[in-house]
Structure 1
Amino acid sequence: MSLSAVWTDVDLEAPGRQVGFIRVEHSVHRSAYGTIPIPFAVFANGQGPTLLLMAGSHGDEYEGQLALTRLIREIDVGRIHGRILVLPAANRPAVAAGQRTSPLDDGNLNRSFGDSYTDTPTGCIAAFIAEELFSHCDAILDLHSGGSSLDHLSCSYADLGTDKVMAQRTFAALEAMNAPFSWAQPGCPSGPVAGRAALRKGAIHLSGEFGGGGRLKHDAFEVAERCIYRVLDHFGILAMEEKWRVETPTRFVFNIQDHFVYAPQAGVLESLVKLGDTVEAGQLAGYLHRPESPWEAPLELRFRTDGIVSVIRTMGRSREGDCLFQLLGETEREEILAAMENLA
C-alpha cells in the first residue's frame, strides 16, 4: 500500500525524457490495492519555462488526445529549452470508456477544480493536477472539443485573469497560437474549471475547442497541433517547424448567454445552419420535431442575437435543456487591448 492516495513515478526535476504514470489508488472488490494509471510524460532540457499540455479531461474529445500522443512519440528532447509536462489522457477512466465523464464516479474532470476536491477518483485526479502540477507551471494549454454531443468550430481560448501584466502575457500567447478564431475571456472563471485553478497558481491558462461529434476531425486535429507547436515556440521551449510558421487570419470572438439556444422540449433537431455561418437575431436556426406525435407542427428555433455559429448539437434526439446551438460574437483586437488597459 502506498503512503499517498496519488503519486507518480516520474521525477519532475530530472532532465531528459521520462514516460510513466500518475497512479490514483482505487480499491475495489477485484483489486484491493488497485490503481488507476494515468499516462504522464516529462521532457526537460536546459533552462526555460515549464508548460503543461493536457487533453482527455473529457474522454470523448479526441483531437487533443491524439495530438499529445503523437508529440510524446516524436518529440526530440535535445531541442527543448525548458520543460514540457504532458497529460494526454487526464481522466483516464473516461478516456478508456470514450465518454465525457468517468464511469467510476460520473466525474467531469473539468468541473472538479473547485475550492475543495471530492474524495473520488476524479476529485483525486483534479487535486493532483492543480496542487502538484500547476504549481510547477508557467503556463497550461488544456485541449478540448465538443465531445460526443456537440460539434465545435476550431477556436483557441484564454482566461485573461484580473491582473494587467498577466492578461497581457496571456493575450500574447493566445495571439501566437494563431487559430482561425481566438476567444479572450476577461477575468477569472467563476465555475470549478481548470482555468480557475491555473490562475490561482499564478499560471497562464490557455485552452481551445477543436472539433467534436465523438470522432476525430482531421482539419480540427491540424489546428490543435498548430496551436500546440506555436505556443511552444512562443515560450521559447521548442522552435516550431516551418510548416507552422505561415500566419493565418484570426478573428477575435466573445461569448454571452444570449448566444446559446437550448431545447425548450424533447425532440429531434433539424439544423438549418452550418458551423461558421454568420447569422442574425431572429433568424431561423432549425426545428425540433416530435416523431412520437407526428400530427404536431415542428417547433421553430430562432437565434436571439447576431453571431457566428460555433456549436451545433450532433445527437439528433434532444431533451429539454440540451444545448442545440452556440454563437460567438465578433470583436476587434483593439477592443480587447483597451479592456486590458483598465485592469489593475
Structure 2
Amino acid sequence: MKNIVERLLQGDRRALARMVTLIENELPQAHAYLAELHQHSGKAHIVGVTGSPGAGKSTLVTRMVRELRRQDRKVGVIAVDPSSPFSGGAILGDRIRMMELAGDPNVFIRSMASRGHLGGLSTATRDVVRAMDAAGYDPIIIETVGTGQAEVEIMRTAQTVLVTMAPGMGDDIQAIKAGILEIADIFVVSKADKPGADQTAAELTMLLSLDPNRRQSAWRIPVIKTSSLKEQGIPELIDALQKHQSYLKESGMLAQRAQRQIQSEIQTLILQAVAKTLQATVGTEEWNALVEDVTRRERDPYSVATNLQERIGLQHPIP
C-alpha cells in the first residue's frame, strides 16, 4: 500500500479501485492518501446527472460515455444506487446496465450504495471523485439515486448539473415544487421517440423563460431532446456540457462553486467527526435509556443534548 498514491497518479486502475474500496470502508489510511491526492485533483469536469426514477438516467449516461470515448476522453462514472432501509445493502443495478462499457480501459465505473444518505449521493462520493480526478479521468459523471427534492445535494459536488425528464411522467409541475428548476444547468428530455416529448420540452422552455433569475443569467439553460433508440441528441448534449464548462471558467463561476463545495465538504467532515465522537462516548445501553427517559417525559431532549454536548467537549449552546 506504500506506493498506492504513486500508482494511482500514473493511472493504475487497480490502485484506483483499491483506493475507492478504502474510501467506502472508511478506513483511517484513506484520509491520509486523499490528503496527498488533493493537490493533484481539481482538473476534471464533474457532471451530475439527476432526475426522477425511471427517467432513463443510466441509459443516458451510457450513451454519453460512448460519445465521450469517440472523442478519446478518459471517463469516470459514479453510479449511486439506493440502499435497503433494512439490510443496508444495494442492488447496484447501474453497474449491470453499464456492463457494455466495463471492458474499456479508459472508462472507470463504480457503483456505490447511498447507505441511507438522503441527498441522492453517498457520503463517500466526494472522496471517490477526488481519487478519479487525480487518476486523470475527465469528465467524471455522477448519476444520483433520483429521489426528488433531496437531489439538490448534487450541487455540492458537481460543476454542471444535468436534469433528466421523460415525457408522459406527469412530473413537470412537481419538478418546480422540488426545486429542480433551480439546480439545473442543462435539461434533457429523454426517450424523445415517445409521444409527449415535444410538449415536455416546450413546457420546460416556457417555465425557464418565466423564471426572473434565469432571465438575468448569462447562461441560457438548453433543453435537449435525446433518444437512445434513435441515437438522437447525444452529440448536442456533450457539446452543451463543454459550452457550460467554458462559461463557468470565463465567468468566474467555476471558482465560486468550488469554494462553496469545499466549505460544504469541510463542514460535513466536522459533523461526521462529532457524530463519531458521540457514538464512541455514549454506549448503546445508555443511549437507549436516554431515549426512554425522553419518551416517558421524565427528561427533555434539550437538556439531554446539552449534557451530551458538554461530555464531548462542544461549547456552543443548544439553540
Which structure shows the higher helix fraction?
2
Larger RCO: 1 or 2 (CA < 8 Å, sep 6+): 2
Which structure shows the higher strand fraction?
1
Alignment TM-score > 0.5, same fold = no
TM-score (norm 1): 0.29
